[in-house]
Amino acid sequence: MISALLVMIGISLLLGAVLGYSAIKFKVEGNPLVEKIDAVLPQTQCGQCGYPGCMPYAEAIAKGEADINLCPPGGEEGIRKLAELLGVDFKPFGEGAGPRAKAVAFIDENTCIGCTLCLQACPVDAIVGAAKQMHTIIASECTGCELCLAPCPVDCISMQTIPQHIGNWKWQYPTHSIVQVAAR
């Protein structure tokens, strides 16, 4: 039995060596860490992480000042990517935090008084309009950060979730696997 175990251990060591070698050999040199982190963040620029935008959050993560589970728009997938990038463990969102359904801001154009306050708040300049003119949101550029909601003096901006339609529908992960059948 002992010698059998030794053989097994020997084999696993060999495999480990091969894996280790390939890890070194195929390693890719890339851009600095902050940029890599920023590339993973969803760029919603919403500040929900407690930093004034994605880049500052990326910098904070790189410096080790911030946790990786603070960005709700990125979702768990985002945390997973960060964990992988930084070589740390996955960490779920804290109590109550977590991603919401994707939404875009919508200005009720009948109510808008054209005060331009929302325009200044928008981090990605997705609101167009001039002083005293009706404002509107470029839906395709809106990141859903909700930063324009608070400044509006007439509360005419609302978030509208993006409904599922044929254009954005996705195939689901197959579910009739054997484990599912057993669970039924």
Partner 1 sequence: MRKLFKFHGGVHPPTHKTESSRTPIVQAAMPSKLVIPLHQHVGNRAVPTVQVGERVLKGQIIGRPEGRLSSAVHASTSGTVSAVDMQVVAHFSGLPDLCVTIIPDGKDEWIAHSGMDYKQTPHSELRQRLREAGIVGLGGAVFPSDMKSYSHKHKIKTLVLNGAECEPYITCDDLLMRERANEILRGAEVLRELLYAEEVLIGIEDNKPEAIAAMRQAVADDGHARMEVIAVPTLYPGGGAKQLIRVLTGIEVAAGVRSTEKGVQCFNVATAYCAWRAITFGEPLLSRIVTVTGNVERAQNFEVLLGTPVDELVAQAGSKADTYKHIMGGPMMGVDLPSGAVGVTKATNCIIEASQAMFPPPQAAMPCIRCARCAAVCPAELQPQDMYWFAKGKDFGKTQEFHLFDCIECGACAYVCPSHIPLVQYYRFAKSEIWQREQEQQAAEVARERHEFHMLRIEREKQEKAERLAQKEKAALAAKPAAPTPLPVAADPNADPENTLQMRIDSAVAHSNMQMRIDAAAARAKEQVATEQPKNTDALTPQQQAEIAEIEARRAKFHEIASHPGADDESPKQ
Partner 2 sequence: MWSSPFITTPTSVSQIMLRVLLALIPGIALYVWYFGPAILVSLTLASITALATEAIMLKLRNRPLKPFLSDNSALITGWLLALSIPALAPWWLIVVGTAFGIVIAKHLYGGLGNNVFNPAMIGYAVLIISFPAHMTHWISPNTLGGIGLSFVEQLNYTFNGVLPGGLKLDAVTMATPLDTLKTQLHLGLSVDVIRDMPIFGYLGGKGGEMVAIGFAVGGAYLLLTRVISWVIPATYLGTLFAIAAIFHLADPAHYVAPLFHWFSGAAMLGAFFIYTDPIGSPTTHRGQVIYAAGAALLTYLIRTFGGFPDGVAFAAVLMNICVPLIDAYSQPKVFGKKGDGK
Tell me the DSSP string of 95-163: TT--PPPPEEEEE-TTT-----HHHHH-TT--EE--TTS--EE-TTT-----TTTTT-TT--EEEEE--
Residue 31: which of partner 1, partner 2, ligand SF4, none does it interact with, CB under 5 to 8 A by kind?
none
Residue 122: which of ligand SF4, partner 2, partner 1, none does it interact with, CB under 5 to 8 A by kind?
partner 1
Q: Nearer Cβ to partner 2, position 13 or 162?
A: 13
Min CB(5)–partner 1 separation in Å:
27
Q: How, if at all, do strands 103-107 and 157-161 pair?
A: antiparallel
Q: Nearer Cβ to partner 2, position 16 or 50?
A: 16
Binding mask 31-50 toward partner 1 (x if CB under 8 A, else -) reads: -------x--xxxxx-----
Residue 4: which of partner 2, partner 1, ligand SF4, none does it interact with, CB under 5 to 8 A by kind?
partner 2
**Chain center to CA of 41:** 5
Please say whether the beta carbons of 183 and 140 come within 8 A: no
Q: Which amino acid is at 63?
A: K
Residues of this chain that interact with partner 2 (CB under 8 A) are 1, 3-4, 7, 11, 14-15, 18, 171, 174, 178-179, 181-182
